[in-house]
Amino acid sequence: MKKNQLVLVGSFGNPRGLKGDIIINIFMSNLKSFKMLKEFFLEENKTILHFTYFKKIGSKYIASLDKCCDRNTALSFKGKNIYSYRKNFPKLKKNEFYSTDLIGCKVINTKNKILGSVIDLKNFGAGDLLEVHDKKKKNFFVPMDKNNLVSVDIINKTIIIDPLYGLID
């Protein structure tokens, strides 16, 4: 299985209760989108996951896995990532992309100077940020908004930005 055919969709948190329930951190817009994927894998397709149910308690999502009947078994999943096949995701419209497609893209300014490459996407509460690693081995953040982002070319793995003055040294 090629790595680009799998998409990181969540991770496991702490066990919840004594019967094997576990908190899941969903990296999608909502639980409905997550459940729609149907096929899930642990740590890059090594183990197939079978969820028996999901529920939301407050702001947390709780799940139960088939054959996970106690707290100790649930604890063994803590910190592990949940993947699904890219083919299970809805088809994208023109000029749409999944955030995972941005990882590894070259970041270029409007003067065609390479500034670095995207290593991650973050959101600290005020909006999505591209985390860019530059040639000096430093990381900087670029807000993903119309003031900074000019274009995204997923096919050529290139992002053109016009950062606000002072955003980048």
Q: Is 52 in contact with 65 (CB distance < 8 Å)? A: yes
Evaluate if pTM is beyond 0.85.
no
d(CA 102, CA 121): 8
Q: What tokens were used for 77?
A: 């999943």
Residue with tokens 């299970």: 88
Helices (H), the chain: 31-36, 71-75
pLDDT tens across the length of the chain (169 residues):
455 678 888 899 999 999 999 999 988 878 888 888 888 998 765 789 999 999 988 888 999 999 899 999 999 999 999 998 888 888 878 777 877 788 899 999 999 999 999 998 887 877 888 999 988 888 999 988 888 889 999 889 999 998 877 667 6
The residues that bridge with 39 in the sheet, in sequence order, are none
